[in-house]
Amino acid sequence: VIRLSGATQEVPRSVICNVHGVNPKFIEIGKLKHQQISQREQSFFKGAYYIGKMVWSKGYTELLHLLQKHQKELSGLKMELYGSGEDSDEVKASAEKLNLDVRVYPGRDHADSIFHDYKVFINPSTTDVVCTTTAEALAMGKIVICANHPSNEFFKRFPNCHMYSTEKEFVRLTMKALSEEPIPLTEELRHELSWEAATERFVRVAEIAPATPAKQHPSTSQRFMYINPDELKKNMEEASAFFHNTISGFEAARCVFGAIPNSLQPDEQQCKELGWRPQGL
């Protein structure tokens, strides 16, 4: 059993490995940002944002609690929330009560150009197994502020991912991120976020290997008893096909297996559609 992170339930004979990747378009956005930074162009014009389904359990409870409790320390923070859901009205009402510049917008695709210029992605959610939007934000070259939680363990290797364990750390890391520039991703780390790397991890952790030739047994009786698995599978498939073709020629058997009655032979209309000559003509 492959568990995406330690946030999942423990089960016997399981192993933890993130076998998830991001859409290639997020990686391409990150490459463009990297190119802008290398050419000393201003690549990030906006501050902080969060995107996620707008229900309290998707991190909005933790986020608004942190913003409300530390309004003085976070003075000057401008943050925008994007999401749609059954708690949208309540989330918007709570955000409007803050003395911070926090604005709420309907949800949209994370790859939308509106998100390209944000520098900091703040995600305090601890209810995900592995947060896809965090991976996407890192792939786009952004700084990520997230909780030190088992669901985020995979992201610790990324220099732009800053994890907090306390509320004071959250405030410090957020303000620090807003005043600095992201570190361009190396090709190796960018690859780690791809589906190609996720597939490689899956193959490795699942211990999938090419089939090896069967060993020759010295004993005559052992050689007689040995059945090649590939041959056995082939024989079973051939037997199954023979059985299927045989019973499909009988109306009663076809009906037992769910066929429409009197559908063994095509009618005149079906023959016409298929360009066949009707039976008996």
- Domain spans of the chain, in order of start: 22-193, 229-274
pLDDT of residue 1 exceeding 60:
yes
Mean pLDDT value across the chain = 85
| 3-class secondary-structure state, position 259 | coil
Q: How confident is the model at residue 266 (pLDDT cuts 50, 70, 90)?
A: low
Cα separation, 199 vs 234, in Å, equals 28
Cα separation, 10 vs 1, in Å, equals 10
Between residues 34 and 142, which one has the greater pLDDT? 142
Q: How many residues does the chain have?
A: 281
Provide the token pair at 170: 């959250």
Which DSSP state fits 58? G
pLDDT of residue 124 exceeding 70:
yes
Q: Give the pLDDT of residue 249.
A: 61
Query: DSSP readout, 89-154?
Result: HHHHHHHHTSSSEEEEE----TTSGGGTTEEEEEE---S-SS-HHHHHHHHTT-EEEEES-GGGGG
Q: What is the pLDDT of residues 19-39, one digit of tens each?
A: 999 999 999 999 999 888 877
Q: Which of 6-10, 48-52, 87-91, 208-212 has the lowest mean pLDDT?
A: 208-212
Q: What is the pLDDT of residues 37-79, one digit of tens each?
A: 877 777 788 999 999 999 999 999 999 999 999 999 998 899 9
Q: What is the pLDDT of residues 108-119, one digit of tens each?
A: 999 999 999 999
CB atoms within 10 A of CB 60: 26
Provide the token pair at 187: 């090709």
Provide the token pair at 226: 């040995």
Q: What is the pLDDT of residues 220-253, one digit of tens each?
A: 444 444 455 666 556 666 656 655 665 566 666 5
Q: Which helix (H) or strand (E) segment is 233 a member of?
A: helix 229-247
The position carrying tokens 């490459």 is: 31
Cα separation, 33 vs 142, in Å, equals 9
CATH number, domain 22-193, options 3.40.50.2000, 3.40.50.300, 1.10.10.10, 3.30.9.10: 3.40.50.2000
